[in-house]
Amino acid sequence: MTAARHDAEFPIARPRRLRRGPALRRLVAQTRVLPENLILPLFVKEGLTEPVAISSMPGQVQHTRESLRKAAREAVEAGVGGLMLFGIPEHKDGVGSQADDPDGVVQVALRELSAEVGDDIVVMADLCLCEYTDHGHCGPLEESGHVDNDLTLERYASVAVAQAEAGAAVVAPSGMMDGQVGAIRAALDRAGFPHVPILAYAAKYASVFYGPFREAAEGAPQFGDRSGYQQDPANVRESLREVALDVAEGADMVMVKPGLAYLDVVAKVAESSPVPVSAYQVSGEYAMIEAAAEKGWLDRERAILETLTSYRRAGAEQILTYWATEAARLLR
Ligand code: PBG
């Protein structure tokens, strides 16, 4: 016995020492997920009288104005840090007119939410046109069918001002148009909103994991896909460039999206970004875990907490997740 302790092959280091019991493990945990770093995405649909369940995202709904306010209050009570609002208008057209209409669905919701919970949680607005255009692309189209980048910038600038006027505490452009952050910054400054931060969806990939969201937000492209403006999953250097450009144009925070399949990108961006880094646990990630849990194939709560921990470990400071309220309660 004693002789064995001096054997060459006997463990020299014993990392297991610090894993012996929950108290020790808690003491040395390097990464912690805090409720205040979570951001809850919410969908509000114009003209609804009852919330509508989103079948591909069990537990998530398209909200009425009333149920939206209730969900926002629950998030506040759980200690969630932010809300990210998506609107689904009754009427769509080629340029997404409802997106910057002062009476458009998101503007109405922003006014109500910012009045009701604006002091307790950061009320953010996703800034894109895909939910508002009849063709489902993220901006008005050229004749060729491609999104017209520079015309879209004018639209985004106007949407940003409408959202800020309605009370958005942060605007979050997600359309991946070149120059969008600069155009929005200039418009906000001109309109008297120099204090409203921009959370830029900076590294946003053309991902299959947005599938369930497109049912939720009714924003699926009617033809083609988004790979003409969102990034190719094969690329990582491009993300660093997108982040650098967005920061140079005035982004106050940058986001990587999706998260789970792109944690390498999150880690690289977090290493070099001079501004806070967010990551989006997207609809497909949510759907995968919910579906597997429903079949009894994995422990749902542990899967939620483990994936959120992975995001933090990779270096994301804010995490957008449809589980924000529930996770915040679990973390308390
Ligand atoms: C809009 C937008 C999308 C998502 C967030 N903002 C869809 C898309 O780009 O196709 C996806 C979010 C999710 O899947 O949870 N541009």
Q: Which residue has the higher pLDDT, 326 or 3?
A: 326
Q: Is 57 in the pocket of ligand 1 (CB under 6 A)?
A: no
Q: What pLDDT, on the 0 to 100 scale, is given for residue 215?
A: 86
Relative to the CA of 207, which ligand 1 atom is closest? 10
Amino acid at site 330: L
Number of domains observed in the structure of the chain = 1
Q: What is the ipTM of this complex?
A: 0.96
Relative to the CA of 281, which ligand 1 atom is closest? 15
- Give the confidence band of 9 by pLDDT, cuts at 50, 70, 90: confident
Amino acid at site 291: A
Q: Is 201 in the pocket of ligand 1 (CB under 6 A)?
A: no
Q: Is 180 in the pocket of ligand 1 (CB under 6 A)?
A: no
Question: What are the backbone angles phi and psi of residue 308, rounded to the nearest 5°?
Answer: -60, -40
Asked if residue 18 is part of any domain, the answer here is: no
Q: Is 226 in the pocket of ligand 1 (CB under 6 A)?
A: yes
Model confidence over 253-283: pLDDT tens digits? 999 999 999 999 999 999 999 999 999 999 9
Catalytic residue IDs: 204, 257
Q: Is 174 in the pocket of ligand 1 (CB under 6 A)?
A: yes
Kindly tell me if the per-residue pLDDT of 8 is higher than 80. no
Asked if residue 217 is part of any domain, the answer here is: yes
The rounded mean pLDDT for the chain is 96
Q: What pLDDT, on the 0 to 100 scale, is given for residue 7?
A: 61
Task: Identify which of 213, 222, 262 to mutate to test ligand 1's pocket (most ligand atoms within 8 A of the CB).
Answer: 213
Cβ neighbours of residue 297 closer than 8 Å, sequence gap 6 or more:
none
> Residue 268: which of 254, 249, 282, 281 has the closest Cα?
254
Tokens at 184, concatenated? 């929005």
Asked if residue 23 is part of any domain, the answer here is: no
Which CATH number characterizes residue 302's domain? 3.20.20.70
Model confidence over 16-53: pLDDT tens digits? 999 999 999 999 999 999 999 999 999 999 999 999 99
Asked if residue 2 is part of any domain, the answer here is: no
Relative to the CA of 204, which ligand 1 atom is closest? 9
> Residue 331: which of 297, 313, 308 has the closest Cα?
308
Domain of residue 160: give its range: 32-331
Model confidence over 142-182: pLDDT tens digits? 999 999 999 999 999 999 999 999 999 999 999 999 999 99
Relative to the CA of 283, which ligand 1 atom is closest? 15
CA–centroid distance, residue 57 to ligand 1 (Å): 14
**What DSSP element (H or E) covers 173?**
strand 170-173
Asked if residue 16 is part of any domain, the answer here is: no
User: For residue 299, what are the CA distances in angstroms to 266, 296, 303, 320?
Assistant: 25, 7, 6, 21
Tokens at 199, concatenated? 């959370």
